[in-house]
Structure 1
């Protein structure tokens, strides 16, 4: 699974990395080294709100809430537990995820993500980040939440797509986020590409050896804790 991650890049860094025009980008909050479900964080997408008059798919950097609100809940104005992850193995079979996977995909920028290893002294957090220091583009899907108090307002929500961990990552946890390589971003974000089989081929788990994996402080276990110290290597059990 993916339950926490870090994102510290600025609006300028993200628009440059993902080739987004500045007038198509929301202001990015300060660096967050402990992103947890229900937080609003940057994503890259081309889909627009259901009642949008936009005719062309334009790449955007928008703030979105982590945790999909299914469309049937949105239409009914109901609230429920947000769905933060979608399993790659069954994503095109589940009613909640099938349509977003076909038409409303996104990229979730991250410095890296956390996973936990269960041991005798409790769960030890580990941080996974690209060896080359590049931004990690996690594969995601988008659903729009309709504000029941204001029918003209829609808010994007998203889930991170996960898969079986690679051998090196699997020593810590059996699941990890899917990612999309830069040369596949255009196709991944294209709402006109709706063939599930073709879409599947655009994403993959980070290649073995492409991630630095190391233990970090258990301070990250508390969602209110934050700061760059959370992603620094630490002694196990600290």
Structure 2
């Protein structure tokens, strides 16, 4: 799964990596992002790729119940994303890329969970998660909600000791094909071992929302013992 991640890049970095359009802006660094909060998402428009704030947890356009009743849709499984009713329309029509600086997974027993941060193996400030987005209108208030999900695959052999799932990472030469829909499910494969590096971080990250504005929460710490 991918249930917590970071977005801590500058506008110049995301512009260079993903060729987003628009005037330069100050981006708030986030160090412990949890589902249902707002994240940066890159989608295609006729003018080019734009960086848009969206709810993390996809709400399909056809959803008729209140927002609070939406199930956990912050991840979509690569194996079924093209068929699942929650995601299949967005898979056909509304692809996106979710820029991330890293993501967290945990090892250990309940009550003694150890958080690990995974970042780009080459030291790049940005990973490109394959994602989907949608536009939903709240039937009660008329408010429009843009939302997105991160697609996850099975784990690579390198990732397996930490978790059995991992976010799908897109290479730059796949950006256009992913966004325009010309690439299919075949691109949703586990990343190579060299794509990621890992270190243990503060257990403060175990609490949802804890340290979201604190850069020290992603610094390496020594493993106890």
- Do the structures match in fold with TM over 0.5? yes
On the 8 A contact 2:62/2:136 being kept in 1, the answer is no
- Distance in 1 (CA, whole Å) between partners of 2:215 and 2:76 is 28
Structure 1 runs, 4 residues or longer, greater than 6 Å off: none
- Residue 184 of structure 1 is matched in structure 2 by 174
- For 1:206 and 1:154, the matched residues in 2 are separated by 34
CA distance in structure 2 between the partners assigned to 1:161 and 1:28 by the alignment: 27
How many residues are aligned here?
A: 220
Per the alignment, residue 218 of structure 2 pairs with 231
Matched, 1:215 2:200: yes
Cα shift readout 1:6-30 (whole Å, capped 9, x = no counterpart): 110123321232111125x8x5641
2:66 counterpart of 1:78: yes
The aligned residue for residue 6 of structure 1 is 6
What's the counterpart of residue 51 of structure 1?
none
Tell me by how many angstroms 1:155 deviates: 2.6
Alignment of 1:136-175 (within 5 A): 136-148=127-139, 151=142, 154-175=144-165
3-state SS of paired residue (2:220): coil
Q: After TM superposition, list the pairs within 5 Å mapping 1:192-207 onto structure 2.
A: 193=182, 198-207=183-192
Unaligned runs of at least 5 residues, structure 1: 48-55
In structure 1, which of residues 32, 35, 40 is the aligned counterpart of residue 33 of structure 2? 35
Gapped runs of 5+ residues in structure 2?
Answer: none
Counterpart position of 2:113: 123
Counterparts of 1:101-112 in structure 2 under 5 Å? 101-112=91-102
Counterpart-to-counterpart distance in 2, 1:199 and 1:60: 22
Instruction: Tell me the residue number matched to 2:84.
Output: 94
Shift of 1:138: 0.5
Partner secondary structure for residue 185 of structure 1: helix
Tell me the TM-score normalized by structure 1. 0.84
Q: Is the 8 A contact 2:96 2:132 kept in 1?
A: yes
